[in-house]
Structure 1
Amino acid sequence: MLLTSTLQAGIFAVLTLTSHSLGSMVYEGGTIISFNETTEELQVLRNASLLIENDRITGLFEGYLQAPANVTRVDATDKIISPGFIDTHHHLWQTAFKTIGSNTSLADYFQKFGEYGPAEEHFTTDDLYVGQLTGALELLYEGTTTVLDHAHASFSDATTDACVNATFDSGVRTFYAHAIHIIPNGYSWESQISKLQSLAADPRFAQTDPDSLISLGLGWDAFYNAPETNITELWNNTRSLNLSVVTTHFLGGPFSDTNSPTALHSYEWLNDTVPIVFSHASFMDYGDADLLRQTNQYISTTPESELHFGHNHPDAHLIQDQAALGVDCHFTYSSSMVQQARLWLQTLRWPNYLVPLQNWQVPKNNPMSVQQAFYLITRAGGLALRRDDLGVIKVGAKADFAIFRTDAPNMIGWSDPVAAIILHSDAGDIEDVLVDGKYVRKGGKLVYPDYTALRKRLTKSAERIQRIWTEEIEWPALSGVLTEGAAPYGEAEDIDTQRGDGTGY
């Protein structure tokens, strides 16, 4: 049975529907936020249908599809079908800290919550497993289908295994950037390299299979001070093990220029097929930005993190053409990529408005669109990871998408689906989420088996960890510098919200 759809801008397909596997499904009559490869722009399809077969999108059609009986049909009337969101920077293991970092700074984070803090002493492998797993499920619940996890709970072989196992159990598409680092517990360089190699040999990663749900990468933050022999060894392993991505933290400015694009380029890491993602890149200079454009490498801006922790992003607006968005630390704020895009949209709008205002002029245009914000959490994430089949709805793309209901009070009255998602939706509006063509959230609920038992395990873990962090550890006052080459500490003035004496802090 041959069905030919109306061709529109090259995005509709001609498909032969004669025999379909049990993995065939069509969402019918919805509003689809698709991607037009000719214009490189989002394209909204109304009253349209989306066909998936196994793990791929195989058709986009106007109206309803006259599909064979063995194709599962799902009514998407009055619903928005969005590509799944892509989070290009996260530390998924940190869930147990949730809410105790609500007023922390980056300097405080380094001491208490990061990879060099006391977590390696106090987190058991079960703490890390349930934290990693619930962190990943939180992403799925909010429509994020792909994450680049800078996995730095690699305190030992055992803690690494706990996080890896949780990642495979979660169902989220993960670029698992296994962190190698110098930590004070005796976990040697040789042992860490050996563990990286053993992970690459784990058949679950399937490093040579482009369809693998979980891909192995490298997280490394010591380009600035490690022996050159170590850096060479890491690069040789990156190539020989076919690692999918390398990610590194880069701040610049008063935080020092550690791990900058210039530094990595000096080792010839940028001009290669391996994607390099620079998280934050807060104080990037022109030379670094130029290198990113020349080598087509990306930064990951984490809007709420940079505002919350204080590393800020004064130069990020100048390199958004080589940027995608991320979350960073879900224990301190929302992990919703929609929330990150919404915050970033308004954060970038206000300084551009300010330019004419400071010249006593009234701005007549809006400097950033909702389409651009949406692009940064979808297509741009796929490009950062050099995966043309992620973050888009088009024929041949991975079947990773989210279906939004539009009947709640915050959504009714919409006409622009992109604006509806970016500026009006919340996680409660998401009805279904699919990764690789499989449901991970259905009918508004996670499909993870026995989530109640997992929730209880995480709650017990968090109670123990938070008691240690808030009652048992005596934290020394910060003094000196944050890290090698950084500027001295300074004091930020508290905001005053209280009449009379005191600030209300």
Structure 2
Amino acid sequence: MKTLLSGGTVVSMDPAIGDFERGDVLIENGKITHVAEQIDAPDAEVIDASDRIVMPGFVDNHRHGWQTAFRGAGSDWTFPEWAVAMHGTVKPHYQPEDVYLGTLLGRLEALHSGVTTMLDWYHVAGGPEHEDAAIAALRDIPARSLFCLGASWGSADCVDDAIRRVHADLAHDQLVSLVWGLRGPEDTGMDAFAGELKLAAELGLRTSLHTGSDGTQRPIADLHEHGLLRDTTTFVHGNGISDEELRMLADAGSSLSISPDVELKMGFGNPLTGRALAAGLRPTLSVDDVPSVGGDMFSTMRTAFAVQRGLDGALNSRDLLAFTTVDAAASCGLDARTGSLTPGKDADIILLRTDDITVFPVTDPAATIVSAGHPGLVDTVLVAGRVVKRDGTLLDVDLPTLKTRLIASRDRIAAAAGVPLDGTWRPQPAQ
């Protein structure tokens, strides 16, 4: 089966391919086979890409989809308030169906806004039935997903058992793969942390870990001292760690996921974007959680860009696109499969409208995407060559039914937790 994306403005994110003011992309059996100014493929299905930017789909390597039902509830929350609200108040009332619905809508939202690959950082802490519900939701979406099983429940042995069980289930899945969401050594002890890293390596799993410092701790230096930095680990946030520690991450080949909107709003400190680059580390960007912020990569890029330019004038638009495509794909171990319009890679591609009045006329495509892009521009989405969104509409999705079920889920959880849904809920952290 052949598909030709014809006549678009191609932003390939591959320096060897370059960009084309007017170009074609040929897809065969789900993979990109040719990118050029003009391709002759008379036997291909043609998708007219005129008045469209053709680029690789976004990669979000850190998002907690299970929280989607409480979108917007935490806009004014600090981090301690968020922790009390989501983990201490509503999470204990989540049933498997609630996990399924939140994860499903969260993944659909991401796909709708052009995120073809997403790491779903699961830490709803319910047990096997809850894990299976989250996996089922990701499998029900025709998108590339990584299920990051967060070790936030049970003993270390239970975590190992859960990882082994889910690994066996997902071993041969074509679109959904497993990542281990590690607890930090401050929670497990250094020996247990080393054991989890060892098992992850045995199973061939990448790992993800939330980290940061108030300036007195040195979490990355501690791991470095114990020989526990890996090129398969993505460290999330990292606010407060030193430049020396950033260089340690760069030397180890580790990845860094920055969530600029959450970090600024919740009081983590300035995102590490510029400092990471100065240390030789390619940063990546992620949404984190939608109770507090928007769920699209356009706004995430714009925040990261504006903050860093305000701090030191560094970065350009192309940097931001790389952080959310090729660099993020590498952080997920998927850079051989996705992240750029490179022949041989899977056809994870998005088409963005250039005739929309909010961006017209498009003089510089990369600059326009970063400075003015928004989900309303996402006209067409392909995952592994399959069209999953066309003419601005997700295909084969019963959104009215899903919305009804999700509202019922949210209202049941809120009632069980005793929290209002009228905008007055302000969680009270322990003093």
The TM-score range, normalised by the shorter chain, is over 0.9
Q: Which residue does the alignment assign to 1:270? A: 229
Residue 136 (str. 1) matches residue 103 (str. 2):
no
Superposed displacement of residue 121, structure 1: 2.3
Task: Determine the C-alpha separation between the residues in 2 that align with 1:112 and 1:199.
Answer: 28
State the shift of 1:409 in Å.
0.9
Distance (whole Å) between structure 2 residues aligned to residue 429 and residue 475 of structure 1: 35
3-state DSSP of counterpart to 1:291: helix
Q: Does 1:226 align with 2:185?
A: no
C-alpha contact 1:282 1:316 (8 A) present in aligned 2: no
Q: Aligned to 2:12, what secondary structure does the other structure show?
A: strand
For residues 339-488 of structure 1, the aligned pairs below 5 Å read: 339-353=299-313, 367-389=314-336, 390-467=338-415, 468-471=417-420, 477-480=428-431
Q: How does 1:69-148 map to 2 (within 5 A)?
A: 69=43, 71-114=44-87, 117-148=88-119
Residue 288 of structure 1 aligns to a residue in which SS?
Answer: helix
More helix by percentage: 2
Match of 2:238 among 259, 281, 284: 281
3-state SS of the aligned residue for 1:269? coil
Task: Identify which of 220, 226, 241 aligns with 2:203.
Answer: 241
Could you tell me which residue of structure 1 aligns to residue 282 of structure 2? 322
Tell me if structure 1 keeps the 8 A contact 2:213–2:241.
yes
Give ranges in structure 2 of 5+ residues lacking alignment.
none
Counterpart AA for 1:250 = T
How far is 1:263 from its partner?
Answer: 3.1
Per-residue CA deviation, residues 300-325 of structure 1 (Å, 9 max, x unaligned), is 11011111211122644210342100
Which residue in 2 is equivalent to 1:250? 211
- Does the 8 A contact of 2:3 with 2:46 survive in 1? yes
* Alignment equivalent of 1:216, drawn from 173, 178, 200: 178
SS in 2 for 1:36: coil
Out of 15, 19, 40, the residue aligned to residue 66 of structure 1 is 40
Q: Distance in 1 between matches of 2:235 and 2:25?
A: 34
CA distance in 2, matches of 1:403, 1:150: 27
Instruction: Return the offset for 1:55.
Output: 2.5
CA contact (8 A) 1:300 1:326 kept: yes
1:360 alignment partner in structure 2? none
After superposition, what is the alpha-carbon deviation per residue over 1:111-149, rounded to whole angstroms, capped at 9, x for unaligned? Answer: 1113xx234421111111000000000000100111122
CA distance in 2 between counterparts of 1:33 and 1:25 reads: 18
SS class of match (2:363): coil
Q: 1:36 to 1:188 in 2, by over 3 A?
A: closer
Shift of residue 36, structure 1, vs aligned partner: 3.3
**Equivalent residue number for residue 486 of structure 1:** none
Q: How far is 1:474 from its partner? A: 9.8
Deviation at 1:337, TM superposition (A): 0.5
Deviation at 1:271, TM superposition (A): 4.1
How many residues end up aligned between the 2 structures?
424
* Closer, same or farther: CA 268–236 of 1 in aligned 2, 3 Å: same
For the residues of structure 1 that align with 2:84 and 2:144, how far apart are their CA atoms? 31
Shift of 1:37: 4.1
Is structure 2 residue 145 aligned with structure 1 residue 174? yes
Contact kept, 8 Å, 2:56 with 2:339, in 1: the verdict is yes
Contact 2:100 2:134 in 1 (8 A): yes
Relative to structure 1, the CA distance from residue 315 to residue 133 in structure 2 (aligned partners, 3 Å threshold; closer, same or farther) is closer
Q: Which amino acid aligns with 2:245?
A: D
* Pairwise CA distance, 1:224: 2.1
Counterpart of 2:222 in structure 1: which amino acid? Answer: A
Aligned CA distance change for structure 1 residues 229 and 430 (closer, same or farther; 3 Å): same
Q: Secondary structure at the match of 1:26?
A: strand
* Mapping 1:491-502, distance limit 5 Å: none
Contact 2:263–2:271 (CA<8 Å) still a contact in 1? no
Instruction: Structure 1 unaligned segments of length 5 or more: list them.
Output: 1-21, 354-366, 481-505
Q: For the residues of structure 2 that align with 1:73 and 1:221, how far apart are their CA atoms?
A: 48
Taking the aligned partners of 2:201 and 2:271, their CA distance within structure 1 comes to 34
Q: Residues 79 and 120 (structure 1 numbering): CA distance in 2 closer, same or farther, change over 3 Å?
A: closer
With the length of structure 1 as denominator, give the TM-score of the two structures.
Answer: 0.79
Q: Does the residue aligned with 1:170 lie in a helix, a strand or coil?
A: coil
* 2:260 is equivalent to residue 303 of structure 1: yes
Residue 45 (structure 1) aligned with residue 39 (structure 2): no
Contact preservation (8 Å) 2:56, 2:341: yes
Q: Given the two structures, how large is their TM-score scaled by the length of structure 2?
A: 0.92
**Partner Cα separation in structure 2 for residue 174 and residue 95 of structure 1:** 16
Which amino acid in the other structure matches residue 326 of structure 1? Answer: S
> Which of these two proteins has the greater Rg computed from alpha carbons?
1
Change (3 A) 1:442 1:124: same
Asked if 1 retains the 8 angstrom alpha-carbon contact of 2:148 and 2:178, the reply is yes
**Which one-letter code corresponds to 1:308 in the other structure?**
K
Contact residue 259 and residue 271 of structure 2 kept, 8 A:
no
Pairwise CA distance, 1:205: 3.7
Greater CA drift, 133-142 or 172-181: 172-181
Q: 2:122: which partner in 1?
A: 151
Distance in 2 between residues matched to 1:172 and 1:329, nearest whole Å: 19
CA, structure 1 residues 312+242, in 2 after alignment: closer, same or farther (shift >3 Å)? same
CA shift for structure 1 position 415: 2.0
- Asked if the contact 1:284/1:316 (under 8 Å) is kept, the reply is no
Deviation at 1:469, TM superposition (A): 5.0
CA RMSD in angstroms, aligned pairs only: 2.2
Deviation at 1:228, TM superposition (A): 4.2
